[in-house]
Amino acid sequence: MSETASPAALKKLHIKTYGCQMNVYDSERMVDLLRPLGYAVSDQADGADLVLLNTCHIREKAAEKVYSEIGRLKELRGEKEARGEGRMTIAVAGCVAQAEGQEIMNRAPAVDLVIGPQAYHQLPELIARTTRAKGERLSADFAPEDKFDALSSERHVTGVTAFLTVQEGCDKFCTFCVVPYTRGAEWSRPVASIVEEARSLASKGVREVTLLGQNVNAFNGDDGTGQESTLPRLMEALSEIPGLDRIRYTTSHPNDMTDELIRAHADNPKLMPYLHLPVQSGSDKILRAMNRKHGRQAYIDLIARIKAANPRLALSGDFIVGFPGETDKDFEDTMDLIRTVGYASAFSFKYSKRPGTPASSMPGQVDEAVADARLKALQALIIEQQQAFKAELVGQTIDVLFEKLGRHNQQAIGRSPWLHSVFAEDAAHLIGQIVPVKIIGLGNNSLIGELEKVYAKEELA
Ligand code: SAH
Ligand code: SF4
Ligand code: F3S
């Protein structure tokens, strides 16, 4: 596209997102910022005018992917230029940009722009400068300033569920983890700005919102009177919003599960009975070395209190195997904890040595093959628990939020309170609705449901 093209002419933006839900949220916000500049999202990098890699630094594999992706983009850029279609701008955002900004610029000269997770509100300005300079490289350093002030509360959404960042950063410094370095210190958004964004989402048909934060249950945003709010109080305020009927939050640290928050799981009917509460390991020795700041029994007791507040609540978690110093006995303690707690789902990872973290220089780094075997065993146990949890739902009637159309027979696909996909036939009229569905079978990674009836228009929200 030539520089004299009309400003309304669309430029193609391709954005690739790695890592956690917060990166998904950030990518959506970056698209929101770039739309007024005439960018429209393209699902292909080939031919794009701007490619944005929103990166993750959490494990080595995730971080390394970025460099191979940049190599591929360089070729696409060459082809685009050869076709006479102008230059492709390549920008690296996210946690790798924050952690290795300088290294990216040294190692990958094809990159035009490096921008960290706290600075992306400056994207429009930086892009404009980069395009003019044709290849100027700019890095944006960690800026604790409030990017949320710069973001509009109006969002472009099409679905019935959405992520909403309410807290960012981490002060916990688990010894394996880069997040405190990539996302900075814990910071919470003011309640009013979150409520405004949630209202906007609800007005566009969003029925379920997932509140995001690296330590979301440590949320302490300004409540509007200069006092600190809490996550349960924020969720109460959000529960008042008409149309917004389901609330979730992730990720939580066990030490920030306050009594007030546990009570919310009993008292707030909009709060979904599903909690992601990572423990990482079931061994006291390893938990200490990880600086998780709580022991095995404290976690087990906490789970018991949460389940007492809401017996329908199910758990998911994160586990790391092969942390430095982890013996067979330590690993067995983790397996035993999983058996004791029982998970509806879990993510599990082989420990990955991250530069600059205390664990990377700890003695007793675990042999790759041993870690592989442990991961396999742990994942088999989790899959078993996951299947058992799903099997228990067969025959029960559960509330399902229908999200999208399926392939045939007026089929629609929705989500259960525990984030299972639920397929039901003759449900195409129910997109955006929450209705009771009888679970009659299990699919591959899903539940098969049956409607109790066909709904008349007047019955629907
Ligand atoms: N704030 C969240 C975690 C964010 S990272 C929390 O405290 O749970 C998501 C998950 O990645 C972590 O829970 C952990 O299980 C995993 N993880 C983090 N650093 C890792 C590393 N160096 N190697 C392997 N897994 C890691
Ligand atoms: Fe990382 Fe620990 Fe903070 Fe979670 S709590 S982001 S694992 S340092
Ligand atoms: Fe990855 Fe950054 Fe999220 S390191 S997990 S994208 S906070």
Domains and CATH numbers, the chain: 11-139 (3.40.50.12160), 146-389 (3.80.30.20), 397-459 (2.40.50.140)
Report how far residue 101's alpha carbon sits from residue 93's, in angstroms, rounded to the nearest whole number: 9
CB of 334 within 6 A of ligand 1: the answer is: no
Decide if 318 contacts 347 (C-beta within 8 A).
yes
Reported as type and span, the H/E element at residue 127 is helix 123-133
**In the chain, which stretches have pLDDT less than 50?**
1-6, 143-144
Report how far residue 350's alpha carbon sits from residue 66's, in angstroms, rounded to the nearest whole number: 20
Identify the pLDDT of residue 286.
98
Identify the pLDDT of residue 4.
44
Identify the pLDDT of residue 134.
62
Q: For a ligand 2 pocket test, name from 173, 212, 219, 299 the mutation site with the most ligand atoms within 8 angstroms of its C-beta.
A: 173
Identify the pLDDT of residue 126.
87
Q: For residue 285, what are its two tokens?
A: 């020795």
φ and ψ of 432, to 5 deg: 85, 0
Residue 347: nearest ligand to its CA?
1
CB of 318 within 6 A of ligand 1: the answer is: yes
* DSSP secondary structure of 277-314: ---B-S-HHHHHHTT-SS-HHHHHHHHHHHHHH-TT-E
Instruction: Render pLDDT for 162-218 as a digit per residue (tens, 0 to 9).
Output: 999 999 999 999 999 999 999 999 999 999 999 999 999 999 999 999 999 999 999
Give 93 Cα–ligand 2 centroid separation in angstroms.
20
Identify the pLDDT of residue 241.
98
Report how far residue 74's alpha carbon sits from residue 68's, in angstroms, rounded to the nearest whole number: 10
Q: In angstroms, how far is the first alpha carbon of the chain from the final one? A: 45
Residue 355: nearest ligand to its CA?
1
Tell whether residue 382 is among the known ligand binding residues: no
Tell whether residue 214 is among the known ligand binding residues: no
Q: For residue 447, what are its two tokens?
A: 């539940």
CB of 28 within 6 A of ligand 1: the answer is: no
Tell whether residue 96 is among the known ligand binding residues: no
Give 167 Cα–ligand 3 centroid separation in angstroms.
14
Identify the pLDDT of residue 2.
42
CB of 180 within 6 A of ligand 2: the answer is: yes
Identify the pLDDT of residue 357.
97
